[in-house]
Structures are given as structure tokens and as C-alpha cells.
């Protein structure tokens, strides 16, 4: 790989990291995204930290729906853990066909 191409890739990674860190700044929702395959720039697994309120839960679900919709997939909650102040909710982006076949 050429040095300029590598520099460009590093800049994209830095920008993605900064945007991920700022995601939800101000509304109490923070997104951490992971990918289970080689397409790491197109994550399909999101951990969302949000306030332990009904509004925080709704904002987290809306954020997961938005992230998955960009891949033409549905956000399915797979795990959730809460303290008295905040929750950490895991979402998996799945295709409509997979969601239907698993009854999601």
C-alpha cells in the first residue's frame, strides 16, 4: 500500500473514531460499534449507553434503528443491563429475512 493511501485510511479511521466518540453528545446517548466480520467500516453490532429513563431507551432504539437502516437492516436488541442511572443496550443489525426467520 502506498504511503498516501495508508495516510488516507488512517485519517478515515481517526475521523470515524472521533465521530463515534461524539455520537449522541448532548442527548446522553453514546454509541460503540463493532463488526463481526471483515467489513469493519460497516459495523453490524452496536453497544449503546443511555440514561435509565423511558426517553433514554427510546433515543437508544431510534439511534440503533438509524445506524442499521443505513445498511438496510433492522436493529434487534440482544442484551441490556442497567444501573439506577444508565443502561447499556446491545443491538445487532439483521436483514429483514433473518429477522422474519427467527421470529424477531
Cell of 18: 472521533
Which H or E run includes 50?
Answer: strand 45-51
Q: Is the dihedral of CA 53, 54, 55, 59 positive or negative?
A: positive
Would you say 89 and 50 are in contact if contact means Cβ atoms under 8 Å apart?
A: yes
The reply to whether the predicted model has a pTM over 0.85 is no
pLDDT tens digit sequence for 48-92: 999 999 999 999 999 999 989 988 999 999 899 999 999 999 999
The domain segmentation of the chain, as residue ranges, is 3-101
User: Is the model's pLDDT at 100 over the cut of 50?
Assistant: yes
Amino acid at each position: 500500500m502506498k504511503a498516501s493511501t495508508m495516510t488516507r485510511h488512517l485519517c478515515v479511521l481517526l475521523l470515524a473514531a472521533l465521530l463515534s466518540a461524539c455520537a449522541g453528545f448532548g442527548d446522553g446517548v453514546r454509541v460503540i460499534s463493532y463488526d463481526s466480520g471483515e467489513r469493519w467500516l460497516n459495523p453490524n453490532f452496536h453497544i449503546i449507553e443511555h440514561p435509565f429513563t423511558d426517553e433514554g431507551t427510546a433515543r437508544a432504539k431510534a439511534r440503533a434503528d438509524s445506524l442499521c437502516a443505513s445498511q438496510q437492516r433492522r436493529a434487534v436488541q440482544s442484551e441490556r443491563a442497567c444501573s439506577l442511572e444508565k443502561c447499556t443496550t446491545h443491538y445487532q443489525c439483521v436483514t429483514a429475512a433473518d429477522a422474519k426467520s427467527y421470529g424477531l
